[in-house]
Chain A
Amino acid sequence: MAIEDDVLVIGGGIAGATAALSAADEGADVRLVTHKESTLRNASGLIDVLGYLPSDDADGASEGPLVDPFAAIPDLPETHPYRTVGVEAVREALAFFDGIVGDAYLGAHTDDNALVPTHGGSIKPTARYPRSSAAGLASDRRDALLVGFETLPTFEGPLAAAHLEAAGVPFQARGVTLSFPGIVRDDAKVTRYAHLLDRDETVSTATGAETGAREALAAAVEAHLEGEKRVGFPAVLGDEGPDEVRAALEAHLGVDVFEVPMGPPSLPGLRLEDRLYAALETAGVEVRSGVPVVDYERDDGRIDRVVVDRNGAEIPHRADQYVLATGGLVGKGVESNRERVIEPIFDCHVPHATDRYDWFSEDAFGEHPFARFGVVPDGELRPRDGSGNAEFQNLRAAGAVLGGYDYAAEKSGAGVSIATGYVAGRHAAARATDARLATNDEVTPQ
């Protein structure tokens, strides 16, 4: 017998989790299946909504950074997913996200973007930021000390400080490179740094004394403070208990402490993933990871069921409504070969040039068509076929599997995933409820 639900979400990133939570919030029975590790481990953990508008002039320079992302949405091309769902839906979706993550994220107090320092020393516009990054905002005029570690080559404090000044930030930045107390191996993973602080492990300091890791780190930094009111670290300050770690460092140093978001593996991204999965559990969504969708059956313009591979066993899953949130090229929700770009599960139409040399720009940061690859949705986010009709009546798409936007250039990745996930989840739940009522109507008269 097939597993049956109101809504089946395929994909476990921000878009999939948001779609599942959104549908469950409307009272639907929801199941989420995901194949691969989510791409959140690559993501900075920031919730970008819209930082730059695509260029409409020949020189290719994008417009921004934008102060107000919502005000700029009407200026996006009509094919952009934000235009499909509309500004109000984007606002509602963000409010929904704010409710999910609670006080772990800030930024909801204003429509304006915040500028967050990057680990290369630039700044980037974002709409919501983890509490751990809040004291690092570039519009805050307090001077900052940036602390890097000899064994963490991804963040070079003094260089990042010099770069921030070159970017014209309204404060003085200074950097220092220290040895991280308790790190004995040169190739320790970022989780090792985080766990040392989470568990406050006993470490030896330079003087030979034994003390807790938090204390030792604070003491090492304290010697370098020259009146700065805030100190930035690479994002390794705790995995399970980042708030406690930061509070301990702040208490010792008497200044604010913040994290600079990093590339993969990104602890802020993984912390967000933990929060989303905790919320899914609370909402009663059935989650199964490591299971690819390998096949589906069609019935009269609808998806009747999908087949999931669970350790070699092919398990059919039936739902009234389906949400495709499998990601873009990185998440493998969009794949390609030398001739074609495809959506691999349902083979939904993905427009692309026939010559693969037209898929990219000559410049590494040029306008890359590949960055916009994805399915084309109708007004209800249903992927359309080549003639413009919905591929399936009961399939919606959310997040990076959608085409028509370049999240990297726009800084819009999480925002589009949340907005489209929210809307797809709402639609799916509404249709599933209609179907249930219709079935009940048929049954009750007897």
Chain B
Amino acid sequence: MARDTEVLVLGGGSTGCGIARDLAMRGLEVTLVERGNLTEGTTGRMHGLLHSGGRYAVSDRASARECIEENRVLREIAGHCVEETGGLFVKRPEDSDDYFRKKLEGCRDCDIPARVLSGREAREVEPYLAKDVERAIEVPDGAVDPFRLCVANAVDAERHGARIETHAEVIDLLREGDDVYGVEVRHDSGPGKRTHRAPGTTEEITADYVVNATGAWAGQIGAMADLEIEVRPSKGVMTIMNVRQVDTVVNRCRPKGDADIVVPHETTAILGTTDEEVEDPDDYPEEQWEVDQMIDTLAELVPILEEARTIRSFWGVRPLYEPPGTGTQDPTDITRDFFLLDHDERDGVAGIASIVGGKFTTYRAMAEEIADHVCAELGVDARCRTADEALPGSENLADLENAMDDFGLRSPIARRSKQRLGSRSREVLETDEPNPVICACEGVTRAEMQDAIEQSGSDLNAVRIRTRASMGNCQGGFCTQEMAHELHPEYDEPTVRDALDELYQERWKGQRHALWGEQLSQAMLSYALHATTLNRDSDPAGRDGDLEYGAFDAGPDAGPDADADATDRTPLDRRADGGEDR
């Protein structure tokens, strides 16, 4: 029977998009389905660390070696998503000397460039480090934008012929006997780009092979075909600061523990994290103590964090996995390695494999292994090229530097746009139309907004992850309305209203964990602008029942029968009979 596609990838995170790109580049026909936006599961909810491997250099050297290799690859193929910040493992007086030495040895054994700095030298690199930090190990950690990287993978997969369907939730795995041959999905607004208020549809997509790359949700997908996948979701909190208190990744040099890393990320710094197993990856408590712990513990490394302003917090769910029977109690002890579960071999069910475990930095290597497996299953002989070919946006970074002055954008707007768009800057920003700034915090212009809207339909959260618009200090208070305006006239007014409401609520969700001090004041200002000035909280356009306009003041000159003659009034008449206008 002819199938709709050769390979069907479930999940639009870094792993799924990486697999889709890899297979599409090898010439296979690929379809990817994602229930929400790209990155919406775990990828968009990480701290943005590009591992040097230093973090695993003592506990898990295999992972450490893989990290440093992939770290180097990503700097090459995704330069526009990576900021080469460097990283420090810093040691406080109470931290173990023995562990510090092991960390250094581990780095050297794993070919991770590592250099010891004195406390004074470390403070020269990062002036806000605590005065009593004794020593540090400098490693090539970096910051990476997971949104941009994941989207670039999806875009490149599409360029190689893949079909990417977001807002397409898998509602059933199609299984006949011992063979899985596809899925049934529910499209939120029909196939293709998402448009609010378009009716939903369902679709059966059949495939020669199905790859379950849904991470923490892999168990839920497996259950649809009676496959048991023992994924152990573990949540971690990340708290975003309003500025970069550090320009280098700062790690605490101790065996393991919560709240031990600060990652500079775009205009912000991200504090992380915790590690706590949860039952349901869609429903777990997000708690105050977790945020407080980030601030209080990391202030031991960077004391100004104690009084600094946070703009929001978010939680991510790690897709941890360990083979049945391992029985690790503490989730921090569960390996960060990934597992390819061949369900044919494991459960006697053919046509499907699941990928669980793993980490963002090594997503490409994971995708390569899985793509190799799929090719073997399908009898395809094709080599992986993802480590050699740059992602869209990173293709001609050198040329770009020379050609950046001429988009009519003033620095630092131009610099920010260039960082985000990389080598696509010219294609996106070259426009004869006026190009005003839409999001001032992040320096996003209309041209960049329109480019993102073209990719993602009326979904402003999809626009947000592509552009960073509404992700800065104001958390959308000043720019969400303007972002929504950019959807018109391509999308009609009710669609724009829905898209705005959805984005505004999403922005609110994360801010709730930052509501004190400056950010509470900011939240009140946003609330005042959107409720007082715009009256979005009581907008008659969103409500049932007719508003009786005739009962309200129509102006001093309207008189008791304004309704009757208002249409014939001219300003001259008004002045003639009213006499009070000028």
> In the complex the two chains form, what is the Cα distance from A115 to B541 in whole Å?
14
Asked if B329 lies at the interface with its beta carbon under 8 angstroms from chain A, I say no
Known: A250-B571, A356-B516. A368 touches B527 (CB 8 A): yes
> In the complex the two chains form, what is the Cα distance from A166 to B541 in whole Å?
5
Chain A 36-79 per-residue mask, 1 if CB under 8 angstroms from chain B, else 0: 00000011100010011000000000101101000000000000
> In the complex the two chains form, what is the Cα distance from A264 to B512 in whole Å?
24
Asked if A305 lies at the interface with its beta carbon under 8 angstroms from chain B, I say no
Q: How many residues of B contact A (CB 8 A)?
A: 75
A122:B493 contact, CB within 8 angstroms: no
> In the complex the two chains form, what is the Cα distance from A101 to B329 in whole Å?
71
Asked if A118 lies at the interface with its beta carbon under 8 angstroms from chain B, I say yes
**In the complex, chain A residues whose CB is within 8 Å of the CB of B553:** 107, 109-110, 112-115, 137, 139
Asked if A345 lies at the interface with its beta carbon under 8 angstroms from chain B, I say no
Known: A163-B497, A370-B523. A263 touches B478 (CB 8 A): yes
> In the complex the two chains form, what is the Cα distance from A51 to B531 in whole Å?
12
B533:A329 contact, CB within 8 angstroms: no
**In the complex, chain A residues whose CB is within 8 Å of the CB of B546:** 168
Of the A-B pairs whose beta carbons lie under 8 Å apart in the complex, a sample of 5, sorted by A's number, is A112-B551, A158-B488, A166-B494, A255-B570, A262-B533
| Secondary structure type dominating chain A contacts | loop
Q: Which of A62, A65, A139, A413 contacts B554 (CB 8 A)?
A: A139
**Smallest Cβ distance from A250 to chain B, in angstroms?**
6
**In the complex, chain A residues whose CB is within 8 Å of the CB of B536:** 120, 122, 365
**In the complex, chain B residues whose CB is within 8 Å of the CB of A409:** 531, 537-538
Asked if B402 lies at the interface with its beta carbon under 8 angstroms from chain A, I say no
Determine, out of B91-99, B166-174, B247-255, B432-440, the stretch whose residues face the partner at the interface.
B432-440
Which chain A residue shows the least CB distance to B572? A254
**In the complex, chain A residues whose CB is within 8 Å of the CB of B517:** 335-338
B537:A153 contact, CB within 8 angstroms: no
B515:A118 contact, CB within 8 angstroms: no
Q: How many residues of A contact B (CB 8 A)?
A: 91
**In the complex, chain A residues whose CB is within 8 Å of the CB of B413:** 187
Interface centre among B533, B538, B556 (most CB of A within 10 A): B533
| Secondary structure type dominating chain B contacts | helix
Q: Which of A139, A169, A261, A330 contacts B528 (CB 8 A)?
A: A330
- Which of A's residues lie within 8 Å of B, judged by CB? 42-44, 48, 51-52, 62, 64-65, 67, 103, 106-107, 109-110, 112-115, 118-125, 134-135, 137-143, 150-156, 158-159, 162-163, 166-170, 179, 186-187, 229, 243, 247, 250, 254-256, 261-264, 328-330, 332, 335-338, 355-357, 359-360, 362-365, 368, 370-371, 407-409, 411, 413
B541:A167 contact, CB within 8 angstroms: yes
Q: Which of A43, A119, A154, A336 contacts B516 (CB 8 A)?
A: A336
Q: Which 5 A-B pairs have the closest CB atoms?
A: A162-B493, A364-B508, A408-B531, A124-B535, A114-B553
Interface centre among B445, B478, B505, B535 (most CB of A within 10 A): B535
A62:B551 contact, CB within 8 angstroms: no
**In the complex, chain A residues whose CB is within 8 Å of the CB of B489:** 158-159
Known: A122-B541, A186-B435, A329-B524. A338 touches B570 (CB 8 A): no
Chain B 503-517 per-residue mask, 1 if CB under 8 angstroms from chain A, else 0: 011011000100111
Chain B 538-582 per-residue mask, 1 if CB under 8 angstroms from chain A, else 0: 111100001101111111101000110011011100100000101
Which chain B residue shows the least CB distance to A113? B552
**Smallest Cβ distance from B297 to chain A, in angstroms?**
14
Known: A65-B538, A359-B520. A413 touches B532 (CB 8 A): yes
